[in-house]
Chain A
Amino acid sequence: MNWTGMLSAAAVHLEITFAGVLIGTAIGLPLAALLIRFPRLGRGVFLVIDAIQTVPTLAMLTFVMLAFGLNEVTVVVSIVLYTLFPITRNAYVGLTSADAGIIRAGRGLGMTPLQIFTGIRLPLAVPMILTGIRLAVVAALAIATTGVFIGAGGLGMLIWRGIQTRNTTMMLSGAVPVSLLAVFFEFSIGLLEKKLRRI
């Protein structure tokens, strides 16, 4: 059982995953905020994001590979594209969920649009944003696993090599950690969401 191999693969895997999720969030959240400001863009933007979501993962990886090559960067970029859907959509729903009455109250108190955004909409949207992040992380872990087929490293590599060489131990050394990671993030972020929702 090659522990160092597994740990280094896990490290690469997590790097790819979180690089993608972080960039995706950095783009997705401001995008959602923008759509609050300019709602008319919403239809077009969501159409594009929905379409991206629908593209099969492996196919998407090959399309992105055209631009970035057979390496980890392709996987990260693909993750960014896929996380746009859960992050932007959930953030948008969360930001628009603020009660109209509360907003009116804020405006009446003399809050500027920016203050209304940061003081009312954003805090109320946090649970939903977390949901989006949770969905993004779980999806990203899966995409990173598939990344092995276009030459990226990560736990997917261990699974695939294990399948190819009928080496069950190797396969499990990839499968078990990635499954545990997925379930871990799903539950821990989920718990955080529940806690914050009570506020």
Chain B
Amino acid sequence: MIGVTEFIDTVVRNQAFILRSTGRHLLICAAALLAGTAVAVPAGVLLSYHKKAAGAVLTVFSVINTVPSMVLLGAAMILFGLGVAPSVAVLFLYSLLPILRSTYTGITGIDPRYIKAASGMGMNRRQILLGVKLPLAAPSVISGVRLSAVYVISWATLAAFIGGGGLGDVIWIGLQSYNFHLVFCGAIPATVLALLVSWALNRVVRAVQKHVDGGVTS
């Protein structure tokens, strides 16, 4: 069905389109993820101080994430129309749960002895949060960001269908015109992007975990 020379040909002929779409894809993913992290991490911290509310909040968000992404994308389109903004809004919403959950479990999962020592020595709540809780929860938080990043990159391919642009556009036009080489011009970069980001953030998690456990020396 596809041949290598035809594929390379297609890439060259459509390079502007592919590059533009890749750029747009990165943009909407980055925007959603950054906004998501900026909201979900503090929210997760807040939840850790109100454990009773945490159950309810996490349940609400997990329902949102259970619903297939196409449904939310469609709803966003109906409510807000086509374009980048509705797409980013939906992606932002989806990115919240993994980070929220991992921040919450990261903080509440810290061995209580460190909190006991810290408060007994006279650290106030802010100092305990910044000096002890967040550093120790960091691997978990970043792990959640990694998960969100992978999801967002995947869902962003669907955002193309509500006018968000991105590599989904390349795939869709390829499918519509039965140009399967073009389809892969979209599918492959999306895959590579996801694998790369996942690997990179994994390395970050591992490095941070090592530091939290006690440095690289001795």
The 8 A CB mask of A35-75 against B (1 = contact, 0 = none) is 00000000000000011011111111011001000000000
- Tell whether A15 is near chain B: CB-to-CB under 8 Å: no
Q: Which of A53-102 contact B (CB under 8 A)?
A: 53-60, 62-63, 66
Contact B171 A178 (CB under 8 A): no
Which bucket holds chain B's interface residue count? 35 or more
- Tell whether A162 is near chain B: CB-to-CB under 8 Å: yes
Chain B residues within an 8 Å CB radius of A63: 187, 191
Chain B residues within an 8 Å CB radius of A54: 150, 194-195, 198
> Which of A55, A56, A160, A182 has the most B CB atoms < 10 Å from its CB?
A56
- Tell whether A149 is near chain B: CB-to-CB under 8 Å: yes
Given A59-B157, A160-B161, CB of A182 within 8 Å of CB of B194 = no
Contact A159 B171 (CB under 8 A): no
Chain B residues within an 8 Å CB radius of A23: none
- Tell whether B121 is near chain A: CB-to-CB under 8 Å: no
Contact B184 A62 (CB under 8 A): yes
- Tell whether B27 is near chain A: CB-to-CB under 8 Å: no
> Which of A55, A59, A149, A163 has the most B CB atoms < 10 Å from its CB?
A59
- Tell whether A22 is near chain B: CB-to-CB under 8 Å: no
The 8 A CB mask of B75-96 against A (1 = contact, 0 = none) is 1011000000000000000000
Chain A residues within an 8 Å CB radius of B68: 141-142, 145-146, 156, 178-179, 182
Closest to A151 in B: B175
- Tell whether A193 is near chain B: CB-to-CB under 8 Å: no
Q: Which of A51, A58, A138, A141 contacts B171 (CB 8 A)?
A: A58
Contact B66 A182 (CB under 8 A): yes
In the assembled complex, the Cα of A179 lies from the Cα of B68 at a distance in Å of 7
Given A56-B190, A149-B175, CB of A168 within 8 Å of CB of B2 = no
- Tell whether B216 is near chain A: CB-to-CB under 8 Å: no
Chain B residues within an 8 Å CB radius of A34: none
Closest to B73 in A: A163
The 8 A CB mask of B56-78 against A (1 = contact, 0 = none) is 00000011001111110011011
Chain A residues within an 8 Å CB radius of B198: 50, 54
Q: Tell me the smallest distance from the CB of A145 to a CB of chain B, in Å.
A: 4
Chain B residues within an 8 Å CB radius of A56: 153-154, 156-157, 187, 190-191, 194
Chain B residues within an 8 Å CB radius of A178: 67-68, 71
- Tell whether B162 is near chain A: CB-to-CB under 8 Å: yes
- Tell whether A183 is near chain B: CB-to-CB under 8 Å: yes
In the assembled complex, the Cα of A179 lies from the Cα of B71 at a distance in Å of 7
Q: Which of B180-205 contact A (CB under 8 A)?
A: 180, 183-184, 186-188, 190-191, 194-195, 198
- Tell whether B172 is near chain A: CB-to-CB under 8 Å: yes
Q: Tell me the smallest distance from the CB of B84 to a CB of chain A, in Å.
A: 17
Residue pairs across A and B with Cβ atoms less than 8 A apart, 20 shown, are A56-B190, A57-B154, A58-B158, A59-B157, A59-B186, A59-B188, A59-B190, A63-B191, A66-B1, A142-B68, A145-B71, A149-B161, A149-B171, A149-B172, A160-B161, A171-B78, A175-B75, A179-B68, A179-B71, A186-B63
10 pairs of A and B residues whose beta carbons are closest in the complex: A56-B154, A59-B187, A142-B68, A145-B68, A58-B157, A175-B71, A62-B187, A179-B67, A54-B198, A186-B66
- Footprint of A on B, CB under 8 Å? 1-2, 62-63, 66-71, 74-75, 77-78, 150, 153-154, 156-158, 161-162, 168, 171-172, 175, 180, 183-184, 186-188, 190-191, 194-195, 198
Task: Please give 13 more A-B residue pairs, beta carbons under 8 A apart, in addition to A56-B187, A146-B70, A171-B74.
Answer: A50-B198, A51-B195, A58-B190, A59-B157, A59-B191, A62-B171, A63-B187, A145-B71, A149-B175, A163-B77, A171-B78, A175-B70, A178-B67
